[in-house]
Structure 1
Amino acid sequence: MDSIETVLILFLAVVASGAAGRMLPFAVPLPLVQIAIGALIASTMDLGVRLDPQVFFLLFLPPLLFLDGWRIPKDGLFRDAGTILELALSLVVFTVVGMGFFIHWMIPAMPLAVAFALAAVLAPTDPIAVSAIAARVPVPKRLMHILEGESLLNDASGLVCLRFAIAAALTGTFSAAEAVATFLWLAAGGLAIGTAIAWGVVRARGWLAIRYGSDPGSFILVSLLIPFAAYLAAEHLHCSGILAAVAAGFTMSFVENPVRLPAASRWRREAVWDLVQFAANGVIFILLGEQLPSIFAGAVETVRQTGHHEPIWLAVYAAAIMAVLAAGRFAWVWVSLRFTLFRARRRGETVIRPHLRVIAAASLAGAKGAITLAGILTLPLALADGSPFPARDLAIFLAATVIILSLAAASIGLPILLKGLILPPAEHGEAEEDAARVQAAEAAIRAIEHAQRAITADPSEADLQAQASLRVLTYYRERIDAGSADPDSAESTRLVRDVERRLFKVGLKAEREELVRLARQRRLGSEAVQKLIREADLAEARLGG
């Protein structure tokens, strides 16, 4: 089938998966629906999709990792940095080594290097899938922040481990000292390149916009190209393109000042990136379902080489891997929590030991998703001598099955574990947002009162200017007294509307500046900042600006 038609069918399937997921009478994770639709496509038509691992890696991973780094709440990441690093780095190494030896022991036909590669892609978690599962149950916000931070870092560390495992499988050699040195170069170079590219692009774009102006289309397109530029530049210099994409996204959230960007460009860019995330994740899982029949056939042949002639052994292998992964993660989370509480007590902090069900939820929430699938599909098709890559189909099948099992276990287990659980109040809640709204509105009033003196108007229009000023100031005073309120929607003259719009823009600009100041002083969480700036952007959009 023509490649263009194939792409259109995949996008149509992603759209259909969203509708199908909403029509089901019970909650099913969207990735599972997409896998089922992909399998249905494979049974009804032959798309003839042959996935090139390198193209697949380049096409899907940079934007997804970039977006994770860009949107993750930074205050939660820094607050729980110790816990996140224990899960994202130490747990990954523990999983790769432990699961690698276990898989090779259980399936001798799978070479040790390939077993390590499979373990490396099973280490990263997918908080997007878990967020969708947990949307109807009260998952503690801090737990979700830890899971998001873990995913941001363990995506990179797991995929770097995958790179070493593939190299060992291709060359047949592995040196621990060389691996450590290479890892340091990959990590340091990738982080530096990603940071430099994001910083340089944002600064250059701002300089050009100030002098020559810009349009939303080019603004959005530049943001879409940044992760690919970071990834390709790092790979060209033999560094980690994965870490470069993560670092570029992380840097974007710091160097980009929302006050200096047009509101329309920002919220249009948010919509485009939401679309990219939805489409990329959806296509990955549709492709997984579409590839399952051929992957299953190859996996059965590999299993027969182990002396087992029944395909049921595939289910036994997958279930065993899932069980060991879950047990290992639970043990590591429990130990990590003990160390975290011990450090807190040493600092003299008052700590509350979380319920055992919360620990179990943190373990069960380590569902696998798009990164695991994208990583396992990058296994080479052949070795250096041209012979087929050993146990490739079996590794892909086991990874795909563990993804399905982990999503199903999380969708069933999380509501049970968290049902009736009394959760501590969130550190950054509605009270903090309300206080920030008041401070932002007060800053807007000061800016508008100052702007009134700068606006020159014909003396005959003094009454119109006073009327517009009164309406704008009333809007902000009402927000201070009773929360947000829409401006008066009554008909007014063109001149009143013009002055009103100008004053509103002054106020909205002052709001954003105050919110950015509060964020930089660590007096307001990053999620609250994004929400309140979004409100200001929407208000400006209603003004036509």
Structure 2
Amino acid sequence: MTPVSAAVWLLFLVVLVSSVGVKWRIPQPALLVLAGFLLSFSSPFHHFHLDSRTFFALFIPPLLFADAWLIPKRELRKNLYSVILLGFGLVFATVAATGFFVHWMIPAIPLASAFVLGAVLSPTDTVALSALISRISLPQRLVYVLAGESLINDASGLVSFKFALGAILQGHFTWADAGRDLLWVTAGGLLTGFVIAYNIHWFRQLLTHRGMENPTLQTSLSLVTPYFAYMAANSFGASGILSVVAAGLYAGVSDVRDLSGSLRLHAASVWNMLTFVLEGFVFLLLGLQLRRVFSAISPIPVLHLITYSLLLTTVIILVRMLWVFPFSRISWMLNRIHARNLPPPSWKSVFLAGWIGVRGAVTLAAALAIPLEVHGKPFPGRDLIIFFSGSVILLSMSTVILTLEPLARWLNIKDSGETAEEEQMARLEANQKALAFLSARAADETLNEHQRDLLNRIASEYVLRIRELEERKEGSDNVRKSLEEETAFRIQALQEEKRALHHLREEHRIDDQTLRRILRDLDLVEAGIRSYQPR
């Protein structure tokens, strides 16, 4: 099978499996990994292999960039201490605890190789985490902390992996060198990402000011931003992952502030489709690699392998639990320096944060990047490291999939509704400001009667919206029902327009170009109507 044919079939499978997941409310990551694993036994994909570096460079940058773009920056700042303690401190604790435990459990694996495994298993997976926790309503603060942690610990985990691997390849390790490298990798990656994102945003603004505000062109520039950030940082030894995260954080602020509405809408639709496809490919390819990973350990008794994998996964969960409880309190005390009224995190939320530690694509990509040989001899414990990586991915993902929803119900953990209230307040205040502006303009004596009638007609729509928002705040829904009826009638009228246009086309009274142009205008109107349906 050619690479193009394989890509087409894999894309079709992503769509098919995702549709099944949506229909039956089954987490798509689990279904896609399982589908990929089963597909690896078929003859066309039996020997399928994707180089880990190619996999990493192709799929991870845009997905991390999108997550960094979307994460609320205010909440990230408010929970910065929690994110740092999890994203850096927990990673290093996991590397140390896992390394010593694996070397004690299997003495045949040297301590240095055990630390390599610890580094591989230390980062949680951003893509898998987002896909799994989006299914249920969790407290927003918990969601933001976990999302921020997963963005940061990809970088710190890979830095730890680089140090552990370097100790084996070079035969020595010093804390001074490690500290300097960590500072360089972190600072260099962050700075590179900000510089790349700033310059691309400046270029996009320049095109806009020169009259070249083409949505396709502008969105294409946003698509290449994560790849430029990743390649630029890697080219001089800094963290490509942190560079992508920094670029996404900067773009998330500057795009919302400076881009026009048409550009944002176009970019959002393109990025939504791209992230859906890339996330699907990541989990499907992850499943495709697992058969080859597991087959490399066939000489070892299966019962021993299962026992080791279960023990290792348990240790990783215990380390996370033992870390989050004391350090959640420490981060809360640090956060109170800036926010005196910040309530302490409940033990239930802390427990859930400790339980949700999904491993995924970054772990497997790092494991597969381990060289076959070191100093002319086989890399010590490489096959076991790769096997344990695949096992922990499956076990951690399965554990969260099976237990997260019932555990959240049992602990009675759910979103408090603060985000919805904040959105309600923002909509109401924005509409009131707009109405005040229209009222002031209508009072302008230089306007003619026709202009004043136009302003009053627009103002009446805002009055209705404000009444609907105020009623929702008070728990009433009379205006909401009226707006829903109006929306339904408007959409029915638009559909009748579209049927008339298709009828004209069938009678050859208009051509395809005319049909597409008018349909595009009607589609935009319909999208605007549907987007404001009361929720």
How far 1:137 sits from its partner (Å)? 4.2
Offset of residue 429 of structure 1: 3.1
Question: For residue 436 of structure 1, what is the aligned residue in structure 2?
Answer: 426
- Matches of 2:444 and 2:218 in 1, distance apart? 31
CA contact (8 A) 1:114 1:169 kept: yes
Alignment of 1:411-422 (within 5 A): 411-422=401-412
Q: Is 2:464 the counterpart of 1:478? A: yes
Contact 2:297 2:383 in 1 (8 A): yes
Shift of 1:398: 1.4
The higher-RCO structure (CA 8 Å, 6+ apart) is: 1
Equivalent residues in 2 for 1:104-503, closer than 5 Å? 104-126=103-125, 128-135=127-134, 137-258=136-257, 260-301=258-299, 309-342=300-333, 349=340, 354-383=345-374, 385=376, 388-423=378-413, 426=416, 428-448=418-438, 462-463=449-450, 465-483=451-469
Structure 2 CA distance for aligned equivalents of residues 7 and 347 of structure 1 = 50
- Counterpart Cα distance in 2 of 1:424 and 1:403: 26
* Range moving further from structure 2, 208-217 or 90-99: 208-217
* Aligned-residue CA RMSD (Å): 3.2
Q: Is the 8 A contact 1:376 1:399 kept in 2?
A: yes
Distance 1:479 1:123 in 2: 49
TM-score scaled by length of structure 1: 0.80
2:31 is matched with 33
Q: How does 1:95-106 map to 2 (within 5 A)?
A: 95-106=94-105
1:136 deviates by 5.2
TM-score, length basis structure 2: 0.82
Change (3 A) 1:313 1:281: farther
Cα displacement (A) at 1:188:
1.1
Aligned letter for 2:242?
A: L
User: Tell me, which stretches of 5 or more residues in structure 2 are unaligned?
Assistant: 470-479, 492-523
Aligned length: 485
* Pairwise CA distance, 1:228: 0.7
* Residues 83/447 of structure 1: CA separation in 2 closer, same or farther (3 Å cut): same
Provide the secondary structure at the position in 2 that maps to 1:119.
helix
1:300/1:394 contact within 8 Å kept:
no
Structure 1 residues 448 and 45: CA distance shift in structure 2, 3 A = farther
Cα separation, 1, equivalents of 2:42 and 2:457:
62
In the other structure, the counterpart of 1:507 is none
Consecutive unaligned residues of structure 1, counting only runs of 5 or more, are 302-308, 492-534
Structure 1 stretch displaced more, 161-170 or 57-66 = 161-170
Q: CA deviation at 1:431?
A: 2.9
Residues of 2 paired with 1:183 and 1:124: CA distance?
Answer: 16
Q: Is the 8 Å Cα contact of residues 57 and 378 (structure 1) preserved in structure 2?
A: no
Structure-2 separation of matches of 1:22 and 1:189: 41
Q: What is the CA–CA distance in structure 2 between the aligned matches of 1:46 and 1:361, rounded to whole Å?
A: 41
1:108-141 per-residue CA deviation (whole Å, 9 max, x = no partner) reads 3334333222212322223543454445544222
**Counterpart-to-counterpart distance in 2, 1:9 and 1:390:** 37
Match of 2:52 in 1: 53
- Shift of the alpha carbon at 1:390? 3.8
Q: CA deviation at 1:206?
A: 0.4
Q: 1:395 to 1:278 in 2, by over 3 A?
A: farther
1:300·1:314 contact (CA, 8 Å) conserved in 2? no
User: Residues 108 and 138 from structure 1, CA distance in 2 versus in 1: closer, same or farther, beyond 3 angstroms?
Assistant: same
Cα displacement (A) at 1:219: 1.1
Shift of 1:218: 1.1
Paired position in structure 1 for 2:494: none
The 1:319/1:256 distance shift into structure 2, 3 A limit, reads same
Aligned equivalents of 1:362, 1:78: Cα separation in 2: 18
Offset of 1:267 from its aligned partner?
Answer: 2.0
Would you say the 8 A contact 2:64–2:126 is kept in 1? no
Residues 360 and 11 of structure 1, relative CA distance in 2, 3 Å threshold: same
Q: Contact conserved, 1:299 with 1:397, CA < 8 A, in 2?
A: yes
